[in-house]
């Protein structure tokens, strides 16, 4: 590698950072990460070619392949939940006033390539990640037998804090965040053609579960376009 110093081209010692094992150099004491989360969202990401869709590669999270809201063609925060179409996977996360709410996203990557997943509106802590060298490396807190039931060691002391993390091939990541920013936030693979093919979803944080109190300003703005 080469770099500029005092107007002269000088060599710079190359280095590599292993994100799978990286941690904060000094603990971030702002959040006081709890030992357990209040809510866990279990996800499986996969690219599939299905004959019913003309064998066109499509991204899925669980059984949903995301596409923009079709009818009516408006953003989700301007519609009640009953109006959202079948392409919208949006778990609800309530925010009680009594205490902070911590959420775990357990994201299993079923593909043979890694996926850099990005969460809008938040940073998260990477408590654990795993890649399977042979077979499948999924994890489910609901499994009672097999490799999927092996609980990961969680780093609650000095985990990496990010808004994007590369989830290993045939592996998983445990991502924890403090849900204190209300809204509907997108969670998606940051490879844009993977996101466009459907590997995306949302998180509805706060409000009412039926999303009956819509954002009237957003609705009026969209109708004016």
CATH number of the domain that 141 lies in?
2.60.40.420
Q: What is the dihedral of CA 9, 15, 20, 24, to 10 degrees?
A: -80
176 assigned to some structural domain: yes
pLDDT at 219 > cutoff 70: no
28 assigned to some structural domain: no
**How many domains does the chain contain in total?**
1
Identify the residue with better confidence: 224 or 32.
32
220 assigned to some structural domain: yes
Average pLDDT of the residues in 97-126: 95
11 assigned to some structural domain: no
121 assigned to some structural domain: yes
Average pLDDT of the residues in 50-59: 83
Q: What is the DSSP string of 108-138?
A: EE-SSS-EEEEETT--EEEEEEEE-SSS---
Structure confidence by residue, pLDDT tens digits, 131-153: 998 888 999 999 999 889 999 99
Average pLDDT, the chain: 87
Average pLDDT of the residues in 112-119: 96
Average pLDDT of the residues in 82-99: 93
104 assigned to some structural domain: yes
d(CA 127, CA 133): 20
What is the residue range of 187's domain?
Answer: 35-224
Confidence bin at 6 (pLDDT 50/70/90) = very low
192 assigned to some structural domain: yes
CA 15 to chain centre: 28
- Enter the pTM of the model: 0.84
Structure confidence by residue, pLDDT tens digits, 144-178: 998 899 999 999 998 999 999 999 999 999 999 99
β-pairing verdict for 92-93 and 200-205: parallel
Average pLDDT of the residues in 90-95: 96
β-pairing verdict for 102-109 and 39-49: parallel
């Amino acid at each position: 590698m080469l770099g500029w110093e005092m107007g002269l081209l000088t060599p710079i010692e190359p280095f590599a950072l292993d994100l799978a094992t990286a941690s904060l150099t000094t603990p971030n004491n702002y959040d006081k990460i709890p030992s357990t989360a209040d809510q866990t969202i279990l996800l499986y990401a996969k690219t599939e070619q299905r004959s019913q869709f003309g064998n066109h590669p499509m991204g899925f999270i669980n059984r949903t392949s995301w596409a923009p809201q079709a009818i009516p063609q408006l953003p989700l925060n301007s519609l009640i939940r009953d109006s959202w179409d079948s392409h919208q996977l949006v778990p609800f996360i309530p925010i009680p006033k009594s205490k902070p709410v911590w959420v775990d996203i357990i994201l299993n990557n079923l593909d043979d390539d890694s996926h850099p997943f990005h969460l809008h509106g938040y940073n998260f802590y990477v408590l654990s990640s795993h890649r399977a060298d042979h077979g499948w490396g999924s994890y489910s807190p609901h499994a009672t037998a097999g490799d999927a039931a092996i609980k990961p060691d969680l780093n609650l002391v000095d985990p990496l804090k990010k808004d994007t993390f590369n989830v290993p091939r045939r592996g998983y990541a445990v991502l924890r965040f403090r849900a204190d920013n209300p809204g509907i936030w997108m969670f998606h693979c940051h490879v844009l053609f993977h996101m466009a093919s459907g590997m995306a979803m949302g998180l509805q944080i706060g409000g009412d579960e039926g999303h009956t109190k819509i954002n009237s300003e957003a609705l009026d703005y969209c109708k004016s376009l």
